[in-house]
């Protein structure tokens, strides 16, 4: 009986050992599974255009921007926030009615005024009202600044954009807003907005939370009640510009035509001058040649010149050459036409 009892005790002890080993194995496996799951909480994957802000014990530690798998210490040691920094986002302004101030209107008159006020109504420098609608295109700039430097990034961006546009238009009169190139207003408003967004995170030590791509401004409109009058003003301004351009074009055409005519006259004068100089030189050369002949034979040359001159001044007239002092002794001869007696010595 004693041996049997000892065998039973040994078997029981062996069974308990096996059970203990199984339990320990299960506990180890479970512990490893829990540890593995805990460690896996620190793994994450970034898609193209995403950034992860990693916090250590709730404080900013670093930013991961390259796509792919990343890992950090598991929570609560470290945690991460994923922000899409490549997505082009849009927000429109000027289409929704809004109250001028928060709160509940005091009476029916204030309620009626509040319902008529729209966010697209902006006061200009000359105390007029112009309706402006525009679109903001932006991306998330600095992931940390966007996620942790402000409590409500979307609302802050909305208010800053409105403030920038009102700042720019508020410095212009209504005529310049309605007629000026919208590109100048868009560019200035974008610059003011970027400066405002940068100033918000200066103390944080990071870049601006938003990257402003551009502001698209629709054509500003005067209020409905006076829109026709302002349309006439704008039309008159355009007519003035058109007339000015036409006048400038006409003056330019007249000036070019006058310059062309003056150039032509100058060229004609130069040609006439050159021809006269050449003619004068020719006459001078002919006179010099004649002078040489006259010097060699004065009488013959004088007579030849006389005859040539008479031939030139009496063309088509028959002429007779007679000796001097004999013309009175000759009878009038009927030669059938006009004739002229030319003496040898004159």
- For 161-187, how does the pLDDT look when each residue is reduced to its tens digit (9 = 90+)? 989 999 998 888 887 787 777 888 899
Instruction: Delineate the domains of the chain, giving CATH numbers in brackets.
Output: 14-81 (no CATH), 87-100+117-221 (3.30.479.30)
SS3 119: coil
Q: Of all residues in the chain, what percent are helix, strand and coil, respectively (each to 5)?
A: 55, 20, 25
- pLDDT-derived band at 319 (thresholds 50, 70, 90) equals low
Say how far apart CA 118 and CA 135 lie, in whole Å.
16
The pLDDT of 129-155, averaged and rounded, is: 83
pTM for this model (two decimals):
0.51
Q: What is the pLDDT of residues 271-288, one digit of tens each?
A: 999 999 999 998 888 888
Query: Among candidates 41, 251, 327, 253, which has minimal Cα distance to 319?
Result: 327
Query: Among candidates 88, 175, 169, which has minimal Cα distance to 134?
Result: 169
Least confident of 7-11, 87-91, 340-344: 340-344
* Owner of token pair 């339990």: 23
Task: Give me 345's structure tokens.
Answer: 């010595």
Say how far apart CA 234 and CA 16 lie, in whole Å.
100
Query: Among candidates 93, 102, 101, which has minimal Cα distance to 122?
Result: 93
Helix (H) or strand (E) holding 318: strand 318-322
Give the pLDDT of residue 102.
44
Helix (H) or strand (E) holding 114: helix 108-116
- The residues pairing with 91 across neighbouring beta strands, listed in sequence order, are 136
- The residues pairing with 81 across neighbouring beta strands, listed in sequence order, are 53
């Amino acid at each position: 009986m004693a041996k049997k009892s000892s065998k039973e005790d040994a078997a029981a002890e062996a069974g308990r050992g096996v059970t203990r080993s199984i339990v320990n194995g299960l506990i180890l496996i479970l512990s490893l599974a829990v540890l593995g799951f805990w460690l896996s909480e620190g793994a994450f994957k970034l898609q193209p255009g995403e950034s992860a802000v990693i916090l250590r014990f709730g404080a900013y530690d670093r930013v991961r921007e390259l796509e792919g798998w990343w890992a950090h210490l598991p929570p609560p040691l470290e945690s991460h926030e994923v922000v899409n920094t490549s997505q082009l986002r849009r927000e429109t302004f000027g289409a929704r009615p809004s109250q001028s101030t928060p709160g509940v209107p005091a009476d029916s008159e204030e309620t009626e005024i509040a319902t008529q006020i729209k966010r697209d109504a902006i006061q200009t420098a000359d105390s007029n009202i112009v309706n402006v609608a525009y679109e903001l295109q932006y991306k998330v700039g600095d992931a940390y600044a966007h996620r942790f430097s402000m409590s409500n990034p979307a609302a802050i961006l909305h208010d800053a954009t409105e403030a920038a546009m009102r700042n720019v238009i508020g410095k212009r009169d209504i005529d310049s807003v309605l007629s000026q190139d919208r590109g100048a207003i868009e560019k200035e408003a974008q610059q003011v907005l970027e400066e405002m967004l940068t100033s918000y995170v200066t103390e944080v030590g990071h870049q601006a939370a938003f990257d402003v791509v551009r502001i698209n401004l629709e054509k500003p409109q005067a209020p409905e009640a006076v829109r026709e009058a302002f349309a006439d003003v704008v039309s008159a301004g355009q007519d003035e510009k058109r007339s000015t351009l036409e006048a400038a074009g006409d003056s330019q055409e007249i000036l070019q035509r006058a310059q062309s005519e003056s150039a032509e006259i100058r060229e004609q004068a130069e040609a006439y001058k050159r021809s006269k100089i050449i003619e004068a030189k020719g006459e001078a050369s002919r006179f010099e040649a004649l002078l040489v002949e006259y010097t060699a034979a004065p009488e013959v040359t004088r007579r030849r010149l006389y005859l040539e001159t008479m031939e030139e001044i009496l063309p088509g007239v028959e002429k007779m050459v007679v000796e001097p002092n004999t013309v009175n002794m000759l009878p009038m001869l009927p030669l059938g036409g006009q004739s002229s007696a030319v003496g040898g010595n004159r």
